[in-house]
Homo-oligomer: A and B are copies of this chain.
Amino acid sequence: MTPEENPPAWKSIDELLSAMRAGNRLALARLISKIENRDRDLPEIMKKLYPLTGHARVLGVTGPPGAGKSTLVDRLIAHLRLLKKRVAVVAVDPSSPFSGGAILGDRIRMQSHHLDPGVYIRSLASRGKHGGLSHATKEVVLTLDAAGFDYVLVETAGVGQTELDILKLAQTVVVVLVPESGDSIQVMKAGLMEIADVFAVNKSDRPEADKLVRELLTMVGMADHDEKSWLNPVLKTEAHRDVGVAELLVAVESHQSHLTASGKRDAKLRDFLQEEVGDILTERLNETLKNAFQTASGQAVLEQLVKREIDPYFAAQLIST
């Protein structure tokens, strides 16, 4: 039996939050599970938790499968721990039938940081609900922030809309590429520049690494910019040999300073909050919709719709009033 199956019985949300703030892992895990399961206590939890947020640096790490993201995240954790920073990792996997959905890197990290109380690692997987995963991830990040972690790393496989939504919640996004990614750079230029703040060319001991670095630098140079713009650094890393990781962290810190100095940190926070409010209302609408067609009047609307006596837009009006 794992501890989570038989956890202490906290008597109230306040007790649970106090335990979490005091560093209790089970309390933290319990809160995150409540978020994942969209517990009905969420409004109360967020009410008490939200004032405690605003301290963590939230970093996104993304890139195509096989780029070595997990190893790089593992190395970033190690470096941040040397700096005495508390680090949480949220590995997000919007599983699809064609991707499978296993985050293998977790096992590695779990092993190397298992006994370190300054590191917390959690995977979040899709429950199949549209938009639900990025909403839950936002609230998990807020929770880890409130729990006192200095850094929250959000790792995604970066292949779809959900991942892009998730990355919006990061202050600094590191896009990890490998020399083999070169060929596909051309087609993904626009999208990459939109999400990346720092590029890491990983496995840079391989041939073609310098070519990819040049391509990325050219891309960065061609983007619209003025003297106040952030020019995305392009760094070479070899995560498995711990090469370039300290430099990557310097680039991340430099971007964090830029965020503050340029006023973009505040703008990002505002965007994040507007999205969170939107997610809450969307979730509420989805709850309403789930039940709307179960009532007698809802059934009658559906019947008219099936017989094509009314159209979907009119039905929507009937359902929502």
Question: A residues touching B (Cβ–Cβ < 8 Å)?
Answer: 42-43, 46-47, 49-51, 53-54, 64, 94-102, 126, 128, 130-131, 158-165, 184, 187-188, 190-192, 194-195, 266, 269-270, 273-274, 276-278, 280-282, 284-286, 289, 292-293, 302, 305-306, 308, 311-316, 319-320
Contacts and interface: CB of A to CB of B under 8 A. Distances in A.
A192 B97 contact: yes
Contacts of A278: 286, 289
Given A130-B131, A130-B161, A311-B51, A98 B188 contact: yes
27 contacts: A42-B313, A64-B98, A94-B161, A95-B191, A96-B159, A97-B188, A97-B192, A97-B195, A128-B161, A130-B130, A130-B131, A159-B159, A159-B160, A161-B161, A269-B306, A270-B306, A273-B312, A274-B289, A274-B293, A274-B302, A277-B289, A277-B305, A277-B312, A278-B286, A280-B312, A284-B316, A285-B285
A155 to B, nearest CB: 15
A98 B184 contact: yes
A49 B311 CA distance: 9
Given A46-B312, A281-B285, A313-B280, A100 B188 contact: yes
A42 B312 CA distance: 11
A190 B51 CA distance: 41
Contacts of A97: 158, 164, 188, 190-192, 194-195
Contacts of A160: 94, 96, 159-162
A68 to B, nearest CB: 15
The 8 A-B residue pairs with the shortest CB-CB distance, nearest first, are A97-B191, A100-B187, A160-B160, A50-B311, A280-B316, A43-B313, A97-B188, A276-B312
Given A100-B187, A191-B96, A308-B54, A314 B47 contact: yes
A126 to B, nearest CB: 7
Contacts of A311: 46-47, 49-51
A47 to B, nearest CB: 5
A128 B160 CA distance: 10
Given A266-B306, A281-B285, 17 more contacts: A43-B314, A47-B311, A47-B314, A97-B158, A98-B158, A98-B191, A100-B187, A126-B161, A130-B131, A161-B162, A270-B302, A273-B306, A277-B312, A280-B313, A281-B319, A282-B286, A284-B320
A288 to B, nearest CB: 8
A64 B100 CA distance: 12
A131 B278 CA distance: 14
Contacts of A313: 42-43, 46-47, 280
Contacts of A164: 96-97
Contacts of A165: 130
A109 to B, nearest CB: 21
Contacts of A190: 97
Given A50-B308, A313-B47, A281 B289 contact: yes
A97 B102 CA distance: 22
